[in-house]
Amino acid sequence: MKKLVFSLAIIASIFTGCSSDDEGTAQPVVGEITGTISANTTYAYGNYTLKGIVKIASGVTVTFDAGSTITANKTTGDNALVVLNGGKLIINGTASQPVVFTEASQTPGSWGGIIMYGDAPIKAIGGAVTATSEDGNNQTYGGTNAAHNGGSLNYVRVEYAGAKLADGTKENNAFTFYSVGSGTHLDHLVAYKGADDGYEFFGGTVSATNLISYGNYDDAFDWQDGWQGQENSNWYGYQTVKGNYGMEIEASSNDNAFFPKVTNVTLKRAAGTTPETAGAIEIDAFQFKKQGNGDFSNVVIEGYGDYTEGATVYHGAAVKIQDATTNTAQVLTSKIKITNAKISGTTQTTPVGATVDIIVAFPANTFTTSTTATGASSLTAGNWATVGTTNLLQ
């Protein structure tokens, strides 16, 4: 009987939670999270195991209290936390007590990260207003609900994600947002050492503030399908060991009248960083292709220099335009703007084309440099931006 009472008390504590005032002294709850969550649930401050593709059903709100750690283990198979359209994820981390999603082996690419679906507008290939997710979950995304609300993520760190799920061809990132709307709150997030992108947006209207992308193998930031967030600020990308573009920007070959806006951007590439895959020379700070566009201001670019592979030396660029169509339809019409940019340690400091046939000439005042840009320097170090003894704000 005593064992039964004790077990019930532990289960009750998972769902009743504890106040933030108690977290410094309370013992963390221990539990497992698996399957589809079909009822509103609060996970109290604790240490949890995430097992399998955990889905938050439509109409359901799941909350994590500050200071919690959620650990996946690749030996159990595919793992990810998925917010289905209509579901909400509320993560109440703080600067001193972030909520950390990690993986037991600490190997990049070991799980699927956080994936959120909505029904905000997209423009996919061919101008399609809906599409099927490429993450192995085969979810339809896209719609007309620009204000879609998938919850509130505050002070969240996702580590070692970017897994190829299921058949090995479906890739994920640390944070993946499919047609997520402007009613969703994303603030103080960290994508740490994943095997794909730190953040990827597939259309939608959501904005994000105070982001760190550290040591991710593909791009620090990536989007497509007509993402159009307008209130983005303080984005910090640091590429080390392996990494492709600081930002890979495309619009699924649609010439959109709109474009996203990001202020206060820092993109750094550590010395010795190599592309993810040999032969794929993706070493530039900003890359625009397939009609990608955007307005970026107060930008710091550092360290995108030469890279040697075999007998060939490749020259890193601050801005590269990948195809002639993007140059004509986006650059020349002023739908790509990079202003107040401070560039150092980078070989090609003026925008260039991927081939000699693409002659890039930004219209007046759409590409400007300065020596006083500060980028994302207002980000504040702390537990949320520290892994072990490493301060991620290099």
By 3-state DSSP, what share of the chain in percent is helix, strand and coil, each rounded to 5?
A: 10, 40, 50
Residue 255 reports pLDDT greater than 50: yes
CB 242 within 8 A of CB 220: no
**What does pLDDT average to over the chain?**
93
Tokens at 69, concatenated: 């750690």
Query: What integer pLDDT is reported at residue 26 of this predicted model?
Result: 82
Amino acid at 321: I
Q: Which residues contact 336 (CB under 8 A, 6 or more apart)?
A: 259, 288, 292, 293, 294, 330, 362, 366
* 78-111 pLDDT, tens digit each: 999 999 999 999 999 999 999 999 999 999 999 9
71 - beta bridge partners? 49, 102
First to last CA, the chain: 54
Check residue 394 and give its pLDDT. 80
What's residue 168's pLDDT? Answer: 55
The sign of the CA dihedral 31, 36, 39, 40 is positive
| Span 334-339, average pLDDT | 98
With bands split at pLDDT 50, 70 and 90, how would you rate the model's confidence at 281? confident
Q: What is the pTM of this model?
A: 0.93
What are 302-336's pLDDT values in tens digits? 999 999 999 999 999 999 999 999 999 999 999 99
How far is residue 40's CA from residue 380's CA, in Å, rounded to a whole number? Answer: 33
- Per-residue pLDDT averaged across 273-296, rounded? 93
Query: Which class for 293: exposed (0-12), middle (13-18), buried (19 or more C-beta within 10 A)?
Result: buried
Please determine, for residue 277, whether its predicted confidence score (pLDDT) is greater than 90: no
* DSSP bridge partners of 268: 238, 302
Looking at the chain, list the stretches that DSSP marks H as alpha helix, in order from N- to C-terminal side.
2-16, 324-326
Helices (H), 278-386: 324-326
Q: What is the pLDDT of residue 278?
A: 77
- Report domain extents, the chain: 30-391
Q: What is the pLDDT of residue 166?
A: 62
